[in-house]
Structure 1
Amino acid sequence: MSRIAYFGPQGTFTEQAARRLAADDELFPVETISAALTAVRKGEAAGACVPVENSVEGAVTATLDGLAEDAPLVAVAEELLAVHFSVLTRDDVETVGTVASHPHALAQVSQWLAANLPQARTVVASSTAAAAVAVQRGEYDAAVAAPVAVEHYPLRVLATGVADVPDARTRFLLLRPPGTLAEPTGCDRTSIVAAAANRTGALAELLTELAFRGINLTRLDARPIKGNFGLYRFFIDFEGHIFEPRIGDALAALRRRCNNVRFLGSHPRADGVAATVEQGAANQDFVNAADWVAAVRRGELA
């Protein structure tokens, strides 16, 4: 049984995601995303489960920065969780005067709180689970937490399924050290980070290499490079798998355009969506084109 670190503490959405991604492994929480990645890099864990993006709040910058620096890690699987919260209180609480949670959680239930607990004052906590612990200790009246929190903390469920945006979701990654990759499924996602040159059209050139090959982007984020004001890294997710000829051809082109490219993984998409393939951009089209060039080089013109 492998040990998998996850961004804790216990009772968070990350724990829920880790249970799905590594159901047969031993899970243990760590305090930060950086600590989870470090545990893998030091060999203290076989993998790490961390959030990478939320459909309401956007990219999780700690995960992006952690993947761009230090020893490489690759994503081998992902999980999409619906972000529906539970509001937890102690049994002796009759009137909710304070509600604690992580800032992202409070932002995603602000309308519900205004409609259902208008008298309550919101208080920021370091995590949704930390808010539940504070309620248990009597510091606050209620916590906005992941549903799994009630398995760890003896609190009363005042409300559940709470979300201002019903289809809000968070995507989590299972990260491991580089190694043998799984075969393509036809419903895959590839991720890279590239530090493009600081000149006109540099990003457009990178994206054009993907567009020329009919490769559909699923995410694009920019993050500043520490210690280099005005320079940015670009985190790019797109449909397909590195073992596919069209994706391999695109990655080779990106590497020619930009020497500082890091491969972050190719793995099945959690939503099971198949790649969009335009006419002339199928893998077999790339194989046939390469075979034709090889035949021409051999003098077999046709």
Structure 2
Amino acid sequence: MTSTVAYLGPAGTFTEAALVAFGEMGAVNDIEKLPVNSPSEAFKAVREGRAEFACVAIENSVDGAVTNTFDAFTEGEPLQVYREVDLEVAFAIMVKKGLKLADVSTIATHPVAYQQVRGWLAENIPDVKFQPASSNGAAAEAVAHGEVDAAAAPERAAEIFGLDVLASSVADVKGATTRFVLVGKPGKPTPRTGNDRTSVVFTVPHEPGSLASILQEFAYHHVDMLRIESRPTRKKFGTYNFFIDLAGHIEDEPLSEALRALWLRTDNLRFIGSRPSADQSGPKLDTTEFDEATAWVAKVREGH
């Protein structure tokens, strides 16, 4: 069965490469690609039923959270993450055929990508003017249309748009990585693997210590918090959505108990998903002590 997947297009973006990776790991099959201009548009396509899934970047090791993606999670009906994949990111500097590096006065790329190549640009094309693009693929397409001199994009984009590559493997931080997620409508979470990540988003009451008391629940239940981000709710000044990643799966009792406590303490708690962690060396949830405590309670209840 064909699955339509919305992604940040056009062809030749790292998001498209992540979509291919999701296909190779069996997360989605028989993919029909739907290129869009933003994470918000990708999520909208899923919410409106024009796509089964959206493939979007959510975080990178150089510039941190992809804020447009975080905001898109709260723009409408709930959506859920089913898989994630990490891709090492390096760029090619590409131009129309025959152009030399000395001729380049303008360069386009996605703003997040610019943060990862600006050191190289300062050293090799110090006077170049940056023009933001909706995606790296769109930047390469702009070069092909003569709208800008050069683009920083995946090398495949040069092949797609018939461009010359002047420099390859450009990255200010070698080994820089971007995490992508596969998002769909809410459903049964991806099965537990023992090395999983769970995400939620919530707001908190404006009361002293409200966030601190919520975070303490993770310590009580021995659940490792992997990340916390805050984004404005866009409803009232000074109110924020808190996004949290946790080590473990919703089927793990310590984590589910912690989330039950969150439901009692937070406003607008939304489950974003449990899925296998792309970080194979990251923290894992150890349920040994919790299991022993549960067994002890069971014995007491039975009179042993």
Q: TM-score, normalised by structure 1?
A: 0.92
How big is the shift at 1:241? 0.4
Alignment match, 2:246: 238
Alignment match, 1:89: 95
Alignment match, 1:153: 161
Alignment match, 1:56: 62
Matched, 1:6 2:14: no
SS of the aligned residue for 1:37 comes to helix
1:90-239 alignment to 2 at 5 Å?
90-94=96-100, 95-239=103-247
Contact between 2:195 and 2:248, CA under 8 Å: does it hold in 1?
yes
SS of the aligned residue for 1:65 comes to helix
SS of the aligned residue for 1:78 comes to strand
Counterpart residue identity of residue 196, structure 2: D
Alignment match, 1:37: 43
1:249 to 238, 257, 262: 257
2:71 to 61, 65, 68: 65
Unaligned runs of 5+ in 1: none
CA distance, structure 1, for counterparts of residue 148 and residue 187 of structure 2: 46
Matched, 1:269 2:273: no
CA distance, structure 2, for counterparts of residue 87 and residue 201 of structure 1: 49
Counterpart residue identity of residue 7, structure 1: L
How big is the shift at 1:295? 4.0
Unaligned runs of 5+ in 2: none
How big is the shift at 1:207? 1.0
| Cα distance change on mapping 1:213 and 1:58 into 2, 3 Å | same
| Cα distance change on mapping 1:45 and 1:258 into 2, 3 Å | same
CA distance, structure 2, for counterparts of residue 251 and residue 81 of structure 1: 30
Alignment match, 2:294: 290
| Cα distance change on mapping 1:22 and 1:132 into 2, 3 Å | same
Residue deviations 1:37-72, cap 9 Å, x none? Answer: 111112211111011112222211221122124211
Residue deviations 1:101-156, cap 9 Å, x none? Answer: 22222222111112222343333333322221221122322111122312421101
Name which of structure 1's ranges 209-218 and 118-127 shifts more when overlaid on structure 2: 118-127
How big is the shift at 1:34? 1.2
SS of the aligned residue for 1:296 comes to helix
Contact between 1:184 and 1:243, CA under 8 Å: does it hold in 2?
yes
Counterpart residue identity of residue 287, structure 1: D
CA distance, structure 1, for counterparts of residue 145 and residue 229 of structure 2: 39
CA distance, structure 2, for counterparts of residue 22 and residue 28 of structure 1: 15
CA distance, structure 2, for counterparts of residue 252 and residue 147 of structure 1: 46
Alignment match, 1:77: 83
Contact between 2:226 and 2:245, CA under 8 Å: does it hold in 1?
yes
Aligned positions, number: 296
How big is the shift at 1:262? 0.5
The Cα RMSD (Å) is 1.8
State the percentage of identical aligned residues. Answer: 44
